[in-house]
Amino acid sequence: MRSVFVVYDLLPLLRPDLFPPELPPMTLAWLNAVTEIADGVVCISRTVADELYLWFKGTKFSRFKPLPIGNKRNRIFSSSAQCLCFAQNIQARAQ
């Protein structure tokens, strides 16, 4: 069985000034837990997927295996060939 999580937004991490002070640390703890156990992450939009990718990149995120990140539109989990992983993301963005 695969564990796939949905990310709606990263606003508590990107704009902590807009939220109660206890929410950004709770969001960070949730996201850290997700990155440890998830087989993939589906974001509600390409924008959120890009923000998540940049957040991981800025936090020196590391895992033993790639964490597929996709959005509702590209349906990354329909086949392994469509899996959008960090290594592929880095190559695509460099071009």
Domain count, the chain: 1
- pLDDT per position as a tens digit, 21-74: 999 999 999 998 888 888 888 898 888 988 998 888 887 766 777 888 888 765
- Confidence band for 83, pLDDT divided at 50, 70 and 90: very low
Yes or no: say if 24 and 16 are a contact pair by the CB < 8 Å rule: yes
Yes or no: say if 29 and 13 are a contact pair by the CB < 8 Å rule: no
pLDDT score at 92: 43
Q: Which domain holds residue 19?
A: 4-94
Phi then psi dihedrals of residue 45, to 5 deg? -155, 165
Q: Which residues contact 63 (CB under 8 A, 6 or more apart)?
A: 35
Strands (E), 1-95: 4-7, 40-43, 69-71
**Mean pLDDT, residues 9-28 taken together:** 96
pLDDT score at 9: 93
